[in-house]
Amino acid sequence: MDFAQFEKHIGISFKDKSLLKQAFIHRSYINENRNLKLEHNERFEFLGDAVLELVVTDYLYHKYPQKPEGELTSFRSSLVNSNTLAEVAQRININDFLFLSKGESKDTGRARQYILANALEALIGAIYLDQGYDAARDFISKYIFDLIDEIVEKGTFIDAKSLFQEKAQEKVSITPLYKTIKEDGPDHDKHFTVGVFLDTDLVIEGVGKSKQEAEQAAAKKALEKKGW
């Protein structure tokens, strides 16, 4: 892998190149290549997630001085959710540099989106470790902050679950019910499938890294399906 090309693309030259490489190593690759004595990116992901949330929170707090906590929280959720992060990861070509198992490398669906989102968080963690908070903040500013205006303009920050409940009660006088259909993956990387029901009728299913995220995904898809 030519990581020099990636460094040039994002405008960051790592002092410790091994940090950059580790940011892209998925656990599945380690499982297939135990003899290489490499480490996967999950600790970097843990760190990058915290740095990302702090940077985005600080940005939104100062950008919208008149907005209440609830709206700011919704804005932040829209910026740091897996869909947005996967979109950013694709934009900077992270997909071309991932170390995946043979099975994972063939998956191009929802599972790949989670891998991309996690890798972006791991990259932020690696930047923080290699060059400090300011460099991580500048990276986030360059690739993520510009999305907020579109999110606010389109209203995609709106809590889909609350909106679907409001519409369901208004249109059919039923309060939606959410049920977990299945759980996949190991404890460190769970994926939940949740169905949203109107009475006993399954409207649609949503998938997420938590039950709450899966419920939001189901509600968003239900709004689209119902045309509400």
> What residues act catalytically?
49, 121
20/144 Cα distance (integer angstroms): 19
The phi-psi region of residue 119 (left if phi > 0; otherwise alpha if psi is between -120 and 50; otherwise beta) is: alpha
Separation of alpha carbons 28 and 161, rounded Å: 33
DSSP 168-209: HHHHHS---EEEEEEEES-GGG-EEEEEEEETTEEEEEEEES
Classify residue 50 by burial, with Cβ atoms within 10 Å: 0-12, 13-18, 19+.
Answer: middle
Please tell me the distance from the alpha carbon of residue 168 to that of residue 142, in angstroms, as a whole number. 39
CB 60 within 8 A of CB 88: no
For residue 182, the cross-strand partners are: 193
Output the CA torsion 162→168→169→173 (10° steps). Answer: -160
